[in-house]
Amino acid sequence: MFREFNYDTQPIVEIVNEIIADAVKNRASDIHFDPTPDKLKVRMRIDGDLVDYAYVPEVLKKNLTTRIKIISGMNITESRLPQDGAIKTELDGRPLDMRVSSLPIVDGEKVVIRVLDYSTSLKGIENIGISDVNLEKVKRMLALPNGIILTTGATGSGKSTTTYAMLSELNKPEINIITVEDPVEMKIEGLNQVQTMSEIGLTFAAALRSILRQDPDVIMIGEIRDDETARIAVRSAITGHLVVSTIHTNNALNTIERLLDMDIERYLLGTAISGIISQRLAKMLCTKCRGSRPATPYEKLVIRKAIGIEIDNLYTPNGCPECIGGYRGRIPVHEVLEIDQDLKDAITNNRPKEEMRHLVYGDGKTVTMLQDGLKKVVNGLTSFEEILRIIDIESDFGDDDDDEMKLALMGKLEVDENGFVIGESKKKEQEAAAALAKQLGQATAPAAPTPDTFTPLIDQPATETLAEPPMPQQTGQQPETLVSPVNETQMAPQEVKTPTFTEAGYEIPTEEALSFNQGAFGDLGEMSLDDFDDFD
């Protein structure tokens, strides 16, 4: 990963091009240029973590930053104020969109380039790593003529990818889709996309009020951030529109609570909301080097209790030149809630949280984030440790301190070597697990891999009973479903080649591209866009 450039001879233009090309090749979501007193540290965020990439000598610090500011359309004479810019270019014939931000810090200007990649969204809803059971639910929600579908998750949980994939699914000539976004992250043909500009009064709420007069069928609201936007979303849904939006919460139940805290009429909210898709990202095990290890009694217990499967071994990360610490790419873990009549009534009547929890998760109605994640563990897509990392015990489980799953996850149950709770009848446990497996649509538990005859579970027909998404390898899809901007052949080390940027070098940002942040471009001084050419 770490790269040494020949800083004495290589032109800065070339170095910047190579940094960007490497970022794309390595599936980086962001490139960080951090000034320190004696150098410029370049780091890349890959699969969620920052990795050191290069140290640029002090003498070139300013030149390199200036070059990035030029190609992203920033004012290079201004280094004391934060700026925003955009880069549009092409890499190996593939369009590349990047958003750039600069921030003056004590040791210089820190620049961050966000690489926008929506190739996954365009592959359609079937190919975003969603399980068959959950996909069916999402398709039912999308088939409704009205209602609100919310995608929830923290920043960087891939909720934009899921939202755009849903819009692509709805995008047909006979349907009028209007979006209000801040910012418009990806332009999709056939969609009417509005960019909010709060500095001139074009807020989410203001844009939405106008949109309703534009005869829309489907409305996409980038994010529900305030009460007024939420109210307009609800009104739009009950007047016959399908509303797709996102909200910053971490699971289905928390989303309902968050909405109930907002200033919206409860009976309207109950009527309007049709589904909630919660999402988190887990790192994917590298299929080139993943291994197997015996499961601990505690892991056996958690997997039996959560998904009714008996295991002896688990897949484990190793590490090879093609991955970072045994992981490569990320896969989403979902919790998809269809709002049924009981739940609508409970929302309207503002029932207590624990009753709401039962309506959401009771009777196995919703495959929980933990269950969806553990199925992906058993199938070798991710590791047990990763799922444990993304599960939030406090908010994903109730206040009920006797909740066995909660105790099991916290390792607070006393278990024997086979993962059975000491004192509990083994037979009763096994019957309960079998019933759960049946309920989750698993005919029989798959044979667990043994170290001797270890073959990846994905190649065994038994896993088909798990109702899991097909493994990437089987469909020719890349393992890094959410983030990979390049295909497998481009990634292969033997095919490393110099990227071909557009003939004229970087495409100078258009006014349109610059409008990612109107405020930052208020003062370009004496420069015109044409001047940027001269700096090459």
Span of 102-110, 182-190, 317-325, 400-408 interacting with Zn ion by CB under 5 A: 317-325
Amino acid identity at 321: P
Give how many residues touch Zn ion by CB under 5 A.
5
If one asks whether residue 3 binds Zn ion (CB under 5 A), the answer comes out as no
How many Cβ atoms are within 10 Å of 360's Cβ, its own excluded?
Answer: 21
Query: 111 or 323: whose CB is closer to Zn ion?
Result: 323
Under DSSP, the state recorded for 202 is B
d(CA 161, CA 165): 6
Residues 267-286 touching Zn ion, rule: CB under 5 A, are 286
Query: 321 or 525: whose CB is closer to Zn ion?
Result: 321
Within 47-198, strands assigned E span: 49-57, 83-91, 94-105, 108-116, 147-152, 177-181, 192-195
The helix (H) or strand (E) run that includes residue 372 is helix 369-378
Which residue's Cβ lies closest to Zn ion? 286
Query: 320 or 410: whose CB is closer to Zn ion?
Result: 320
- For 177, 375, 448, the CA distances from 317, given in Å and listed in that order, are 43, 17, 17
Among 320, 393, 492, 496, binds Zn ion (CB under 5 A): 320
If one asks whether residue 492 binds Zn ion (CB under 5 A), the answer comes out as no
If one asks whether residue 197 binds Zn ion (CB under 5 A), the answer comes out as no
First to last CA, the chain: 28
Query: 434 or 491: whose CB is closer to Zn ion?
Result: 491
Structure tokens belonging to residue 478: 């890349």
d(CA 25, CA 104): 29
Q: C-beta of 323: minimal distance to Zn ion in Å?
A: 3
Query: 289 or 527: whose CB is closer to Zn ion?
Result: 289
Q: C-beta of 182: minimal distance to Zn ion in Å?
A: 38
Query: 289 or 434: whose CB is closer to Zn ion?
Result: 289
Concatenated DSSP letters of 263-308? SS-HHHHHHHEEEEEEEEEEEEEPTTT-EEEEPPHHHHHHHHHHH-
Q: C-beta of 289: minimal distance to Zn ion in Å?
A: 3
Q: C-beta of 319: minimal distance to Zn ion in Å?
A: 6
Q: Where are the alpha helices (DSSP H) in 110-193?
A: 119-122, 132-143, 159-170
Among 166, 230, 323, 331, binds Zn ion (CB under 5 A): 323
Among 288, 293, 426, 438, binds Zn ion (CB under 5 A): 288
Q: Which residue has the tokens 């601990």?
A: 296
Query: 97 or 480: whose CB is closer to Zn ion?
Result: 480
Query: 44 or 413: whose CB is closer to Zn ion?
Result: 44
Q: C-beta of 150: minimal distance to Zn ion in Å?
A: 36
Q: C-beta of 284: minimal distance to Zn ion in Å?
A: 10
How many Cβ atoms are within 10 Å of 366's Cβ, its own excluded?
Answer: 24
Query: 276 or 323: whose CB is closer to Zn ion?
Result: 323
If one asks whether residue 289 binds Zn ion (CB under 5 A), the answer comes out as yes
Q: C-beta of 393: minimal distance to Zn ion in Å?
A: 30
Site string for Zn ion, 381-420 (x = CB under 5 A): ----------------------------------------
Q: C-beta of 488: minimal distance to Zn ion in Å?
A: 14
CA dihedral of residues 464, 470, 471, 474 (deg, nearest 10) = 100
> What is the three-state SS of 317-353?
CCCCCCCECCEEEEEEEEEEEECCHHHHHHHHCCCCH
- Give the residues lining the site for Zn ion (CB under 5 A): 286, 288-289, 320, 323
